[in-house]
Amino acid sequence: MIRKSIRVFGQVQGVGFRYRASYAAKELGLTGWVENLWDGSVQIEIQGPRLQVEKFLPAVEEGSFVRIDYAEETEMDVVEDERRFRVRGY
């Protein structure tokens, strides 16, 4: 089990990115959250088995109009007892 903080840059706001992220997280059995930031990037914390976490961003980018130019990733401590994936800031 791992947890990553991911900040994503590109065409990621106003294109359904947060909802694609929520759908992908649920399909992959992951927990965490996603939130738009003031500078046009998106912040994500994602948690689950390493293999599933590695599949997450490619699954999100499959969505129409979403384009990830680059992502900054950092591993974090796992959050015990987290049960779901949330969309923040709406």
| Catalytic residue set | 18, 36
Q: Could you tell me how many residues make up the chain?
A: 90
Q: How would you list the strands of the sheet with 85-87, edge to edge?
A: 67-76, 2-11, 42-48, 31-36, 85-87
List beta partners, residue 42.
8, 36
